[in-house]
Structure 1
Amino acid sequence: MEWLTDNWWLFWLGLALVLGAIEVATVDFVFLMFSGGAVAGAVAAALGAPVPLQVVVAVSVALLLLVVVRPMIKRQFTDGEVDHRIGPSGLVGRDARVIQAVTDTDGRIKLAGETWSARLAQGSSPVAPGEEVRVISIHGATALVEPVHHDLSS
């Protein structure tokens, strides 16, 4: 037991590892904050602080991390309103090449290397094969597109 009293920093690091492993299982960012507190306790122990001060440092840092850092991390990982632009929403705004004439009822385009059904947005005139269109929305497996008008003045 004398070994432990001479090496408190190892105890704190072991505790940090155990808490980190629990965090991997829970993924709630609570045990990660506790683990950060244990690392702070290890630093205090390595600097020669007495055990009661190590505990105060570990608890203070863990609480600070819980109150300040955890809400920011949770918000970053659980923000449901952020569109990460994957799946169909990632195709909106991209240009595509017409491979079968696109009208307001039918057509085919090459979009992101795949062939998609397409139809024109209201008020657009039909687009011939070989021309470019821009995707303005995706409805199921059909892209709603509009013609791309290139500015020839520049």
Structure 2
Amino acid sequence: MELIQTIEQYAWIGWLVLILLFLVIEMLTLDFTFLMLSIGGLAGLGSDLLGAPVWLQVIIAAVVAAVLVLFLRPPLLRRLHRGEDPTPSNVDALLDIGGRVVSTVSAHGGQVRLINGDVWTARTDSGELDPGTPIVVSRIDGATAVVRASNPTLTEDTSA
């Protein structure tokens, strides 16, 4: 019985530690989840200062955090990401890009010139592609483009 009274007496310290822990994690993740949890902890701390029992403090903190995560976090994330450039970059920008075979491409290797001017080592999953054949990049596997034959009207002429 004395243990429960001690916990109730010093619960505010637990809430402060929890709030600070959540804020530190939020600074590392920048995802708004732990910010919402820390605000829920703040509600728990407020209910403790108003004299609520520990079980009610936990329920209040959980409900406030859940409501914030479900209803406030999504619009905040949308607003944060509103100005981002949707253009793919790096490897993602190479997927489905066209080009032409420079040296015969087989399952073991070859070279292609993409429409952006880059020359890549390439391989194909099926068959063999002769020089001049229009291609499309299916995926990037390490430093090798995995290509497939394409309709010539869909790619630009990259022979230089």
Please give the TM-score of this superposition, normalised by the length of structure 1: 0.49
